[in-house]
Amino acid sequence: MRKSILALLALALVLSLGGAAFAAKDTLVVADQYDATTLDPIRHNDYPSSRACHQIYDTLIFLNDDGSFRPGLAEKWEFVSGTAYKMYLRKGVKFHNGEELKAVDVKFSLERATTELGAQIKTYSQDLKEVEIVDDYTVILHLKKENFPFFASLSHSWGSIVNKKEVEAQGENYGTPAGTAVGTGPFKFGKWDKGDKYTFERYDDYWDGKAQYKTLVVRSIPEPTARTVGLETGEVDIAYPTTTTELKRVEENPDLVLQRKPLASTTYMGFNTTKKPFDDPRVRQAFNAAIDTVGIQKAVFRGVGKTPRTLIPSNIKYSINDEIPEHKRDLEAAKKLFAEAGVKTDGWKVQIWTNERKERVDMATIIQAQLQELGITAEIKVLEWGAYLDGLKKKEHDMFLLGWGLSVPDPDYAVAGLLETGAGTNYTFFSDAKLDELLAKGRAMSDGPERAQVYKDMQLFINEQCPMLFLHNDESLVGVQKKLKGFSSSPFDVHTFYTASFEE
């Protein structure tokens, strides 16, 4: 009965998409799990917002699926020195408001990211000193110090080039439903119904060739069954993520294709290290010993992905994931560590925060049961995506479940955004001088054995301090209509839609 009710609810949700638009084949309908939080590229560091911005804006360089780069708004570049990159801009590129892209827009965009407005993306922009304008189509990016992964980060959403005039005119409304968002990308802003969907229209003057359909609609559909039903009925053309419970349903449907790729992402349970007793590494290690991370991953994800042993995913260079023994649950060790820290577990009440993603709720539920064996009562608090991120910033949580993925394939970005002191997405609020020193050292080095050693030391230190428990390395599972051609999901989880077309 419960399954029948869920299926009916899911179908009703999907039918609200509207079949007329799909029938015209002039609209691509995408089902994402969450809505964007902002369309201002420097005020976020979450995947739904990055995916939205990717459709509107371009960056100086583009990231290929194999981790290499190709020219974007910069048609070529020169490394003048370790701290100076000369970028030659394409001529004739137009913003959605009709203005031509100029060096002044690049300077404005990148330097704006170094202000307080860019606190969320500080990890990427922090070493940018200034952008020097040589002429209308040439700029030099000057860094404060050598930062080896910085160039690669220019392909990240933070490096999106905005129109200076438009941003200044919009003020605080820029990138919100009350304002607009203006880039040079393949789609221009149409309408944003916050919490439901955003609608972008094709930009016919896109410099890299216009899309073959007119309208892009991206719906926020948290319920996985609803996303799958949308694919089955044809109301949705692309849906992600496909959960383990829906996997076979998509694979076995002759009208659908499952695009499955490994992701450089880590789902983790973090501790609020500003709160007692979570500020004590022995307490965090005790939780690590008390929880069966391997069993949880297998139970929840059913053959998708794996349990990580270190923060840097194994498909990212310098990961030592395969050198570390598999995690084993040890209740006696947990009890000993709690006792050493002076924590009495019997009757202790804690909170585990999570957003509404089903797998995370399931993981939290198993963790809750395992902690109960030690007398710890864990309350699970489930929050809507935007409210969840806002709540974490206020430091009111005890523990929380979240994912972190790399849209720039460098080990620095696997760690810095989560654990560097002051990083805008450091929701554990972990702060340690040794780790900060290792991060700075690793950033300043070019690839080689010495840099590899720095990241090995870093991973071992993080495991020792245990600001988080590693729960899952994910895969990209994207359901696609078979008649949709030209779309390939990104292994970095920021997808390009304008290349798609409908088969006649």
Q: How many CA atoms lie within 13 A of 80 on its CB side?
A: 12
Does residue 178 lie within any of the structural domains? no
Claim to verify: residue 298 and residue 384 sit in the same structural domain: yes
Residues 468 and 351 in one domain: yes
Clarify whether residues 320 and 469 are in a common domain: yes
What is the bridge-based pairing of β-strands 399-405 and 349-355? parallel
Q: Against a cut of 0.85, is the pTM above it?
A: yes
- Cβ atoms of 313 and 319 closer than 8 Å: yes
Closest CA to 127 of 416, 404, 390: 416
- Determine the average pLDDT of the residues in 377-393: 95
Instruction: Kindly state whether residues 240 and 307 are assigned to the same domain.
Output: no
In a shared domain, residues 249 and 207 = yes
Q: Which residue has the tokens 């419970």?
A: 245
List the CATH number of the domain containing 394.
Answer: 3.10.105.10
* Residue-by-residue DSSP string for 312-380: S-TTSTT--GGGSPPP---HHHHHHHHHHTT---TT-EEEEEEES-HHHHHHHHHHHHHHHTTT-EEEE
410 and 464 assigned to the same domain: yes
Answer yes or no: do 433 and 353 share one domain: yes
Instruction: Write a three-state SS string for 62-103.
Output: EECCCCCEEECCEEEEEEEECCEEEEEECCCCECCCCCECCH
Query: Mean pLDDT, to the nearest integer, of 383-408?
Result: 94
Distant-in-sequence contacts of 229-234, Cβ < 8 A, 24+ apart: 229/7, 229/10, 229/11, 229/13, 229/14, 230/14, 230/17, 230/29, 230/31, 231/31, 231/256, 231/479, 231/480, 231/481, 232/256, 233/11, 233/14, 233/15, 234/19, 234/22, 234/481
What is the pLDDT confidence band of residue 503, given thresholds at 50, 70 and 90?
confident
Instruction: Give a yes or no: residue 174 inside a domain.
Output: no
Domain membership of residue 170 (yes or no) is: no
Same domain, 109 and 226: no
Q: Provide the number of structural domains found in the chain.
A: 3
Same domain, 279 and 418: yes
- Of 466, 458, 472, nearest to 286 by C-alpha is 466
Q: To the nearest 10°, report the CA torsion of 185, 191, 197, 200.
A: -30
Whether 272 and 394 share a structural domain: yes
Mean pLDDT calculated for residue range 71-97: 98
Give the range of the structural domain holding residue 273, as residue numbers without chain letter: 265-473
Instruction: Report pLDDT for 2.
Output: 44
Same domain for 325 and 208: no
Banded model confidence at residue 12, pLDDT cuts 50, 70, 90: low
Residue 48 lies in a domain: no
CA distance linking residue 248 with residue 132, whole number of Å = 53
Identify the CATH number of the domain in which residue 133 sits: 3.90.76.10
**In the 8-state DSSP scheme, what is residue 306?**
B
pLDDT tens readout for residues 203-244: 999 999 999 999 999 999 999 999 999 999 999 999 999 998
User: How far is Cα 108 from Cα 132, in angstroms, rounded to an integer?
Assistant: 11
Local structure of 151: helix, strand or coil: helix
At residue 22, does pLDDT exceed 70?
Answer: no
Q: In this structure, are residues 185 and 57 in contact, taking their beta carbons and an 8 Å threshold?
A: yes
CATH (domain of 489): 3.40.190.10
Say yes or no: 256 and 287 in one domain. no
Is residue 4 over pLDDT 50?
A: no
